[in-house]
Chains A and B, each alone.
Chain A
Amino acid sequence: MSQAEQAPAIRRILVALDTSPNSLAALEGAVALAARVEAELLGLFVEDVELLQMADSPHAREILYPSATESRISRPGMELRLRIQSERARNALAAAAESARVPWSFQTMRGNVASELMAAVGEGDLLALGKRGWSPGSQFGSTALRLATSAIPVLLHPAAKTSGQPRLQVYYDDSPAAKRALIAAGQLAEDGGSVTILHAAASTEQAQSMENEIALALKGRNLAIRFQRIVPNDEASLLRAIREEQPGLLILGSREPFRRLQSLEALLRDGKTSVLLLGDGIEP
């Protein structure tokens, strides 16, 4: 097995926390995953330097929720609010991790949010984050967008908390990245559990060949393997197949199947499927 096909080893899960509903949902998914793979949790709170800069500006105004009143902002005031937010994030992490008996730590950083998070990810790390932070809208937030398009492994969680045990789904197209996703799925699946393989085969023969390969790759694991054939390079076909088994955890070796970010956003907007993007960052 080439290096590109080897299974990622998740030793630590970093959770980007800003106390928004999305980030808390991501925390829940991260805790569940950490408990399953016996990884550590590291909560990260980034004090957005842009906010602090704006607080220095004498002209900056803040529109307050939910009254829509306008207020002047100051640097000490902004720092205080960020400290409070950081403390809330820490408390949320502590409560979730301790209830699942997962070892945890917490770190507050200051800088550009995406840059700081990317910088914090190291070898064997997986970064969990919500689709977007506090900003409204259905699309990816700027931070999520940067991370989802980077090479680092990320766990993107839908907007809301999922209910029930997610079903493992793996996109498989015979590529090295897909093979890594397959192996990761084998590691994440519980003994006696099931995995659904969404294989993009152009023909029946190719499909059969892929199934044989997959069966061989997962040989020895006590797993129920279900195959679902999808049309290669057809995002709509992929989305339909994914939505048939919700709630789910979709494992992707790379972002390749979702060439358009909107498709990934639509999937996450359903609120029923998390996406584990292994990326290229995890080295054996």
Chain B
Amino acid sequence: MDPTTKLKPLTPEALYRRSNIQNFTFNTTADLDGLTEFVGHLRALQAVQFGIGIRSRGFNLYLLGPVGTGKYVIARSFLEKKAATEATPDEWVYVNNFASPEAPRTLKLPPGRGVLLREDMRRLMDNLRSAIPSAFQTENYQARKQAIEQEMKDRQEKAFEEVQQQANKQGITMLHTPTGLILAPMRKGEVISPQEFEQLPEAEHQQIEATIAGLHEKLRAILLQIPKWEQESREKLRELNNEVAIFAAGHLIEELRKKHLDLSQVVSFLNEVQEDIIENVDQFLMPPEHPLAALMGVALSNAPRGPAFFRRYQVNVLVEHSSGKGAPVVYEDHPTYQNLVGRVEYIAQMGALSTDFNLIRSGALHRANGGYLILDANKVLTQPYAWEALKRSLQASQIRIESLGEMLGLVSTVSLKPESIALSVKVVLVGDRLLYYLLSAFDSEFQELFKVAADFEEHADRSPETELLYAQWIGTIAREEGLLPFDRGAVGRIIEHSSRGAEDSQKVLTLRRFIEDVLRESDYWAREASRPAVTAEDVQHAIEARIHRADRVRENFLEQVVRGTLLIDTRGERVGQVNGLSVITLADFSFGHASRITARVRMGKGEVIDIEREVELSGPIHSKGVLILSGFLGGRYAVDHPLSLQASLVFEQSYGGVEGDSASSTELYALLSALSELPLKQSLAVTGSVNQHGQIQAIGGVNEKIEGFFDLCRARGDLEGQGVLIPRSNVPHLMLRQDVVEAVRAGTFQVYAVDTIDQGIEILTGVFAGERDAEGKFPEGSVNQKVEARLIQLAEKRLAGRRQMLPEVEL
């Protein structure tokens, strides 16, 4: 019986699904309207719309999906449309806290008013710095000031003069030392020398000393009064200064108060400014600082702009929305802790660090407050403490600026503690699926804060409607990127290539990045060929060029096979030897590669030894596949007797790891051949996993595997009916290269789709597999009969051997 009459190879049409370009009514994509929706992603888009629309707490979004699905572009597009219809949020400014400068205060102001206040304060200071000194230079002020000073001076002088006059009358003079006063007795206008003094009678001594003692007391009383008089004088001067300062500054500040009368916070701030100016009016009277302050000859070029003192009256606009274009949509591409929550900067001056509220800088949360913030989840999670800060801000609905050192309790130096800012923002995290599932599983707060997940599908069903949408999408991207238009053929070829990328002829990829790359490269080749529009030829050129750039390793493999370094037969028949197929992926390029798989059998205890596993070169899935073989053999052939074989399986000349179960059917074919001693056709290669019932199951990379064996055969120059056995369930996935399809059409290469091991072994051996008859026996001469007979033979031999060794034991 010829099994090939039972199972025919696949037709060329089954190997590749062409795009229906005859349905396209356009010549080039330039004729098409721009795409206003996105191909595929319906589920995700609905989730995004829901997430953006709902304003409840915790309904932040996580957009999950593979890289390149255009999640960010989609999110941004949706958010910008929504944000443009929303109210522009308030502005936030930091101002000095005059009572506690280390805790700057915030003011929440309507859009545009923050900048206005900043400019108003700047102008006010410019005016005050000339108005106040002018007021203090008037004759009127100078006269009143001099009067106060003179009053104080006169008071002192009068007091001293009185004592001096009393002293002079009593023959005593006042001598002034560098540190105080001495009262000395005089005689004839001269101070009495110590010697003369000693010669005076005792009574005179006592009288002089008593006089001096009395004068001492008076002088001491005056000296003790002086600080009080000075204090009174200072107080009078302060009152005068206040009066003049209010005169000079009051009307200017009053103008501002009227201007900002609708904002009570600002009015209150201006009141504090006025009080502070009066309190510190001396600062306005000092000569202007040199632009480059210097210490010990070293210029302090980094000094804060403007004279240091007057910085206290500035307004630090943290967030401004002067343009008033709706809610902000912010993307922070470097979401460090500080870039998220803001920071306090410092200025180094001669080795010391200083700061004030003017050096508070906004973070992305500040800029997005009242709107939307888009972040890359992976970046947020890889930046130290950024994730914690983001969660803390969302939980507390406020932004608190503190340095990392303070947050970790590592720094206890006095710094700024800016007042927290109320936060109302919708955060949109963009990341891959694994990250989403890990966060859901291990971060208990994640689900509370990111309640909306938008799962972006990387595939879309391939239908005529989808193909037309795809054409529009291509046209839209081409316009956005400034590429040539794509003609119908090019569009069709891109759709077909997208199906190949999706590894499914029924699907197309929705990965924007994938499409963009193809479009750009095709555009390049079209321009090289001076074409006005990109054609299918250019697209094909781009695809082949990309493969060529990446296939050095594949060519090395082929060369080694052709030269006989790697032993692969593609002709003839061998017992226990079959061509298996695997896929090697290097970066974004995958290719199929044939391997020789061999099986040897002998009597044993029912073990199938996977040599790859023994030497730890196989992964767990591969090992599982091999163990399934034992289940299949035992279940089919050794129900009534022990499975008394020991079989060894090996990937010949494989020196790297083997993983996956796509070779399990291949290994089973080799094993069945070894047991039945029926040779297998080496012109065929096999892929597919098998279950314990002998059913062939789908595998991945089917296109690459077929093409890999095709390339190998063609490289040897012997395409004469070789082929590949694949699982039938993989047929919808076929999107083979045109040269493979053409070879099949010409009959020089074949692809068989098999459902069971029996179908496969018939093709490989040319012998029918055979099914058990009513008596439970396989037909004589069938593959299965030969396998069973061999296993029974092995079992009997083993039983005989054991009886011989242990005759008295009943076995």
Contacts and interface: CB of A to CB of B under 8 A. Distances in A.
Q: Do A and B bind each other?
A: yes
A62 B161 contact: no
B177 interface: yes
B116 interface: no
A66 B228 CA distance: 12
Contact of B181 (A59, A63, A133): A63
Contact of A64 (B175, B180, B212): B180
A58 B176 contact: no
A57 B182 CA distance: 11
Contact of A136 (B160, B183, B193, B220): B160
B219 interface: yes
Interface string A46-73: 0010110110111111111111101101
A134 B181 CA distance: 10
A171 B100 CA distance: 61
B121 interface: no
A64 B180 CA distance: 4
Interface in B149-203: 153-154, 156-157, 160-161, 164, 174-184, 191, 193-194, 197
A135 interface: yes
A59 B220 contact: no
Nearest to B191: A50
A19 interface: yes
Q: Place the interface of chain B in its size category.
A: 20 to 34
Nearest to A269: B150
B143 interface: no
B182 A65 contact: no
Contacts of B194: 53-54, 56-58
B32 interface: no
B223 interface: yes
B287 interface: no
A16 to B, nearest CB: 14
A137 B209 contact: no
B220 A48 contact: no
A110 interface: no
Given A60-B182, A136-B160, A137-B164, A51 B226 contact: no
Contacts of B177: 51, 62, 73, 78, 81, 134
A23 to B, nearest CB: 12
A53 to B, nearest CB: 5
B216 interface: yes
A82 B156 CA distance: 25
B224 interface: yes
A60 B180 CA distance: 13
B197 A57 contact: yes
B297 interface: no
Contacts of B717: none
Most chain-B CB neighbours within 10 Å: which of A54, A64, A138?
A54
Main secondary structure of the interface of B (DSSP, over half): helix
B807 interface: no
Interface string B211-254: 01000100110011011000000000000000000000000000
Given A65-B180, A70-B216, A84-B178, A137 B161 contact: yes
B157 A137 contact: yes
Contacts of A66: 223, 226-227
A85 interface: yes
Most chain-A CB neighbours within 10 Å: which of B161, B179, B183, B219?
B179
B179 A62 contact: yes
B175 A51 contact: yes
B157 A62 contact: no
B139 to A, nearest CB: 12
Contacts of A78: 177
B191 A135 contact: no
Given A54-B191, A70-B216, A137-B164, A85 B223 contact: no
Most chain-B CB neighbours within 10 Å: which of A61, A73, A78?
A61
A136 B157 CA distance: 6
Contact of B175 (A19, A48, A56): A48
A62 B181 contact: yes
Nearest to B154: A138
B184 A54 contact: yes
Given A56-B194, A136-B160, A63 B154 contact: no
B153 to A, nearest CB: 8
Nearest to B227: A66
A57 B209 CA distance: 12
A64 B181 CA distance: 7
Nearest to B163: A136
Interface string A72-97: 01000010011011000000000000
A50 B183 CA distance: 11
Contacts of B160: 135-137
Nearest to B230: A66
Contacts of B227: 66
Contacts of A63: 180-183, 216, 219-220, 223
A85 B179 CA distance: 10
A110 to B, nearest CB: 15
Contacts of A51: 175, 177, 182
Contacts of A81: 177-179
A158 B220 CA distance: 28
A78 B182 CA distance: 12
Contacts of A65: 179-181, 223
A25 to B, nearest CB: 14
Contacts of B154: 138
Most chain-A CB neighbours within 10 Å: which of B177, B184, B212?
B177
Nearest to A88: B178
Contact of A68 (B176, B191, B219): B219
A61 B217 CA distance: 12
Nearest to B215: A63
Contact of A54 (B164, B179, B182, B220): B182
A56 B22 CA distance: 128
Contacts of A134: 176-178
A142 B315 CA distance: 59
A34 to B, nearest CB: 26
A204 B216 CA distance: 58
Interface in B306-329: none
A136 B156 contact: yes
A81 B219 CA distance: 22
A61 B209 CA distance: 10
Contacts of B157: 136-138
A269 to B, nearest CB: 9
Most chain-B CB neighbours within 10 Å: which of A57, A82, A133?
A57
A189 B731 CA distance: 114
A53 B175 CA distance: 11
B136 to A, nearest CB: 14
B239 to A, nearest CB: 23
Nearest to A84: B178
Interface in A265-280: none
A147 to B, nearest CB: 17
B176 A133 contact: yes
Interface in A147-191: none
Interface in A88-141: 133-139
A208 B777 CA distance: 160
B211 to A, nearest CB: 12
Given A58-B194, A59-B197, A68-B219, A50 B175 contact: yes
A60 B213 CA distance: 11
A48 B182 CA distance: 13
B184 A60 contact: yes
Contacts of B219: 63, 68
B182 A61 contact: yes
A65 B180 CA distance: 5
A57 B193 CA distance: 8
Given A54-B182, A59-B197, A68-B220, A135 B209 contact: no
10 nearest A-B residue pairs (beta carbon):
A68-B223, A134-B176, A136-B160, A64-B180, A57-B194, A68-B220, A85-B178, A56-B194, A50-B191, A62-B180
7 contacts: A53-B191, A56-B194, A58-B194, A63-B223, A68-B224, A136-B161, A139-B161
Given A60-B184, A62-B177, 4 more contacts: A54-B191, A65-B181, A68-B224, A81-B179
